[in-house]
Amino acid sequence: MMIPFVFAAVSLMAEPSLAARVDAMERQYDIAQAELLAKELRLTAQLDASERNLLLARCALNVAEIKRIDFERTPTEDRAQRQAIGKAIDAAADEALSDLANAPETSETWRVRADAYGVKIRSNYQAQRYHKDMEDATARARALDPKN
């Protein structure tokens, strides 16, 4: 009876990998999908910890970037709403940076780190605080892979 085995193999091949699903989520700017994938990644045993942490960081960065778009669209007069969104951006970016602490030493890891610092910059004060970290991470990413 090879039929159940064949169906199981086909169904496994039909489901995209977690990495492919994270790639798709980034293209769609889907915050619900990012949060769902992050939950799934935290529970999976399919990946080693460093690979999982990089994917988690990418999910968190996507959330921060979507929140940043909301921040930019919010009128400057709506100070309370912008502050709340700013806190959500920082929380997501900090989560990405935390996940990257145990991610592999790759150009992609450093690119995500640079983007996480960059999304936190919303004022001159924050630029003074995070710009050097962002530039250092960008330089490290390019040193590891000039095409990144």
Q: Considering the entire predicted model, what is its pTM?
A: 0.83
Digit-coded pLDDT (tens) for 66-103: 999 999 999 999 999 999 999 999 999 999 999 999 88
Digit-coded pLDDT (tens) for 1-58: 455 444 444 434 456 898 999 999 999 988 999 999 999 998 987 888 889 999 999 9
Quickly tell me which residue has 């085995």 as its tokens.
5
Distance CA 97, CA 114 (A): 9
